[in-house]
Amino acid sequence: MSSRKCFGPALVSTLVWSLLTAPLAAPAYAECRLGSPSGKIKHVVYVEFDNIHFTRDNPNVPSDLEQMPNLLNFIENNGTLDAGDHAVLISHTANNILTTQTGLYSDNDGIFIANSFGVFGPGTGLASIFFPSAFFYWTDLVSDITPATADNNFALTTPSGSNVPAPWVPFTRAGCDVGAFSAANIVLERAPFDVQKVFGAGSPQAKETNSQQTADFIGESIHCALGSSLCSPVNGGVDDFLPDEPGSYSGYKVLFGAKYVSPALGGLADLNGNPMTSFQGFDPVPAQTLGAAATMLEKGIPVVFAYIADAHDNQEGPSLSSEFTFGPGEAPYVKQLADYNKAFGQFFARLKKDGFDQSNTLFVFTPDEGDHFVGGAPSSANCDGAKIVNGTVIPDVPCTYGTNGVGELDLNLNGVVANAGDTTPFAIHFDDAATVFVPGQPGPTDTSVRQLERTMAGLSVVNPHTGLSESLIGTGLGPDLEGALVDPVAQKLLHMNTVADPARTPTFVFFGNPNFFFESPPSFTSTTAVAGTGFAWNHGDIQPEIARTFIGMVGPGVRSLGLTSKFFTDHTDVRPTIMFLAGLKDDYQHDGRVVLETIDPTILPSSLHAHSATLLRLGQVYKEINAPFGQLARSALTVSTFALESNSSNDATYTQLESRIADWTSRRDSLAAQIKGILEGAEFDDVKIDEAQAKALISEGEVLLDQAANVAASL
């Protein structure tokens, strides 16, 4: 290891040198003390997918999970597959992963736009607007990511301006080492900055080339408990620095990167035995991720966070296909899913052999968000790509889409707006949900801002896949809403403002037609839509295929419900449910709830048994008023869109409706704060609820939902 090259016999005693150069003994791990109410959970395996779908993208083509029966059957036969889960806004990888890791909505972690986020910085004009990456290490400042922002707030910031508590801390405090493979924000993400920050600008690690730093130090980590020699200096351990962690966090160590993680574990390999001595990037296939996870468990690491890339883009390279992305049912897509399925079969068999299964391990599987497929109709209307026969996937009639038949519709939104006669300068976060930043950070009632909103809402462009003109915001209000417009008033209700750093709050957000990907790079001057070939799956937006996801949970204390969609959940509920099942507690109040519907009632404390029906209803009403895809949010999206599109005298319609949304938000915030306190007390502190108080809050929530729904329906 390069960190040991400076030592030699001339500098240390012969005895010390012999100790340093002797073969490493098996590391002495700390005792992992999970306090699971079942008394049986000894390990936690958390796997987050990028865009793996339970629902079908083509009604004839089996979905991603249907084509991975080894995973689907494991969940359905041994636990619960909650198909009523939802993403948060904006529905993108970085902020949805952060939401599941922490159980906090985006206004409580600072990242509500991803995979980069906008910041109003110093300067004037468009040059004053920056878009730092949302993939960074947990303790980074905004100015660490993009120095020109001059923004010295934590990128992950609480409303008070503190760094968000880290998700591995309750585990390491309980004596459990925590491994991570390709899991966002809890591994180092960027070379050379992260490497210089951790190891020092003049260190041997920092003197490596950027590409070698990425291979050696990015993408993998082990956060160690006190007393674990796994993260010893000999193994490359460094301080696990969390300056704002509640209750302090000193003396803890961490290993970063394959250069240290792999040797400490005696080597990492994928499930097929291929060595992984360096990090290959943040698009790992299951054979890689699950191979790393299995090794970590086998080597005594009881808690593992891992990430797996989507299956609709080509993750296997030229040997699979010359295409970069696939449409539903295409032969390479089916082949890649077969490889994913094989990997999960190998993973579960290997773990079972080694003594890790649903009897002693909590398994959690969830995607970051869903997707909207953009492409033409397949050449055969009856193609299915594959069929399922007695639980076995059999390749069948492949779907083909022809030249340029698969691909998002890239559109220069700034150019189209200018062609429509609106010369207001603005920058956007490239996406189908375009967050708009107008230089100078004008307020929502500014006349140029109001006109820009109306201009965007009125745009239409020809879809080259169909030859038809389509509205860029879609059509319809209420339950048929295809797109939406929100400014900071509704953004607050949707958890899309940052109190500690208002420079991140966009002027407004244009949730557009999901067929289009809005961008404005200098090289792209065309004002017609172009069918791109690199990407075909849009997300970030509000449509059901994007918003709705799943949570698969298996392990002691999880009910065997199989497939269910009878209740509403979202990503914030993952963390508190894991914490409850593991018998641990975070140092903050979650925005999510323990999903009691999925918990074996025999392990519930008296606080959750007492008044259980009322407690369940309280939790459900809480989600409907507080979740970005709950009923209140859906009503607010409709009302906000109507308000921002309106052009009445003195902007009276806009003013009146915005006032309604602000009132709903104020009432919601008050109700949510009270309900969160009750839920957390019952879930984690064994505090019985006050039946009368709970019912009063349920009633207030239902009144709020009805009032907002009535306003939305009247438009």
Nearest 10 degrees: CA dihedral of 660, 661, 664, 669?
A: -150
DSSP states of 28-95 as a string?
-PPPP----TTS---EEEEEEESS--SS-SSTTSPPTTTT-HHHHHHHHHHEEEEEEEE--SSB-HHH
Each residue's pLDDT tens digit, 495-529 = 999 999 999 999 999 999 999 999 998 888 888 99
Task: Please report how the helices 612-626 and 691-713 are oriented relative to each other, as an axis angle in degrees rounded to 10.
Answer: 30
User: What is the per-residue pLDDT for 29?
Assistant: 63
User: What is the per-residue pLDDT for 275?
Assistant: 96
What is the gyration radius of the CA atoms in the chain, in angstroms?
Answer: 25
- DSSP state at residue 337: H
Phi and psi angles of residue 290, each rounded to the nearest 5 degrees, phi first: -70, -30
Long-range CB pairs of 520-526 (<8 Å, 24+ gap) are: 520/412, 520/413, 520/414, 520/415, 520/427, 520/428, 520/430, 521/430, 524/410, 524/412, 525/412, 525/415, 526/412, 526/415
Q: How far apart are CA 40 and CA 30, in angstroms?
A: 19
CA angle 400, 403, 408 (to 5 degrees): 90
Q: How far apart are CA 284 and CA 276, in angstroms?
A: 11
Do residues 682 and 688 touch, judged by C-beta distance below 8 A?
yes
The token pair at 277 is 């001595």
User: What is the per-residue pLDDT for 26?
Assistant: 44
> Three-class SS of residue 396?
coil
> Three-class SS of residue 363?
strand
Q: How far apart are CA 185 and CA 192, in angstroms?
A: 16
The token pair at 134 is 């949302």
Q: Which residues of the chain have pLDDT under 50?
A: 1-26
Strand-pair category, 43-49 with 361-367: parallel
User: What is the per-residue pLDDT for 259?
Assistant: 98
Do residues 179 and 298 touch, judged by C-beta distance below 8 A?
no
> Three-class SS of residue 711?
helix
Each residue's pLDDT tens digit, 131-177 = 999 999 999 999 999 999 999 999 999 999 999 999 999 999 999 99
DSSP states of 441-476 as a string?
---TT-HHHHHHHHHHHT-EEEETTTTEEEESS-S-
User: What is the per-residue pLDDT for 476?
Assistant: 57
User: What is the per-residue pLDDT for 1?
Assistant: 28
Nearest 10 degrees: CA dihedral of 420, 423, 428, 432?
A: -10
